[in-house]
Amino acid sequence: MSQEDITQLFQDPDQIRILQIFLIIALAWLLHRLINWLIPWLAERLPGRARWYLLPLMPVLKLLILITAIALLIPLIIEPTLQNMITLLGAVGLALGFALKDYVSSIMAGIVAIYERTYRPGDWVKINEAYGEVRSVNLRALKILTPEDTIVTIPHAKLWDTNIYNDNNGSRELLCVADFYLDPRHDAHLVREALYDVALTSAFIELDHSIVVIVAEKPWGTHYRLKAYPMDGRDQFLFTSDLTVRGKAVLATLGVQPVQGWLGAQSFSDGDTKL
């Protein structure tokens, strides 16, 4: 591109409205900050179901603000002719292809994630070794809050080559599982009913969903999986702990012993996740 072409691409410097450009950028930044604060603030104060409708609006609103700001800025900086637009897009595309390939890849993946709803604020996801609640979805990356209260920032580009596990996929329902590894010498029917009652009487239980107790006989003993839904997915760890603690207490009153040789049982249990 010659110097003359570049000169013709942009507006006459005397006609560029610097103040207007500054106001558009400032307003877009303020709206972005307002969304980051206002929507989570409102979501924390609304009932659980309304929260799941409100939080996914965050990335969509941010994308609309960005597109609107760019659309307003372009005519203020360049001559909005067809030739100039083609020249500009070609130059920008070439520059992005070489210098900002990874960054642009993350932004494109972010747009795909917003469109396909791969994850939304409020979802519980696992990406590589990170597991937690999605707190924000920005254009380049998402941030998740782990159970250890650590914020992990993950670029959207992981979408291209990484399996993403979403536990609740935009809803407030989240399945929790409490495992019990027991000595096989017991009445399985009695234990199954006792574990069912443990879930049914939990203070965290969501009664709109069924409670399931799965029993599997293993070489080392009997494996029970107590599956149920809490009222709020954010209580999943409290709910699982409640099931485990009260389940162990009930089993102790029934005289049921945990499996002997825990390390051996653990090695076998690694293949039980498909239950």
| Highest-confidence segment of 91-105, 126-140, 255-269 | 126-140
Considering the domain architecture, whether residues 223 and 249 belong to the same structural domain is answered as yes
275 pLDDT tier (thresholds 50, 70, 90): very low
Considering the domain architecture, whether residues 161 and 182 belong to the same structural domain is answered as no
pLDDT digits (tens, 9 = 90+) for 95-131: 666 666 777 777 778 777 777 778 888 889 999 889 9
156: number of Cβ within 10 Å: 24
Range of the domain at 17: 10-79
Which position has the higher pLDDT, 121 or 211? 211
Single residue among 138, 170, 202 that ends a domain in this structure? 170
77 pLDDT tier (thresholds 50, 70, 90): confident
Single residue among 170, 187, 221 that ends a domain in this structure? 170
Contacts 24+ apart (CB under 8 A), 152-157: 154/127, 154/128, 154/130, 155/102, 155/106, 155/109, 156/106, 156/107, 156/109, 156/110, 156/112, 156/113, 157/102, 157/105, 157/106, 157/109
Considering the domain architecture, whether residues 150 and 198 belong to the same structural domain is answered as no
Considering the domain architecture, whether residues 163 and 98 belong to the same structural domain is answered as yes
Residue 100, pLDDT score:
67
What is the SS3 assignment for 179? strand
The CATH number covering residue 214 comes to 3.30.70.100
Single residue among 135, 170, 205 that ends a domain in this structure? 170
- Number of folded domains that form the chain: 3
Would the pLDDT of 10 be above 70? no
Q: Are 137 and 114 in contact (CB under 8 A)?
A: yes
Task: Please give the average per-residue pLDDT across 197-214, as a whole number.
Answer: 93
pLDDT digits (tens, 9 = 90+) for 15-64: 667 788 888 899 988 998 888 888 878 877 776 666 666 776 777 787 78
Q: Are 27 and 73 in contact (CB under 8 A)?
A: no
DSSP 194-251: HHHHHHHT-TTB-TTS--EEEEEEETTEEEEEEEE-BSSGGGHHHHHHHHHHHHHHHH
Q: Give the chain's mean pLDDT.
A: 82
Residue 141, pLDDT score:
86
Q: Are 238 and 174 in contact (CB under 8 A)?
A: no
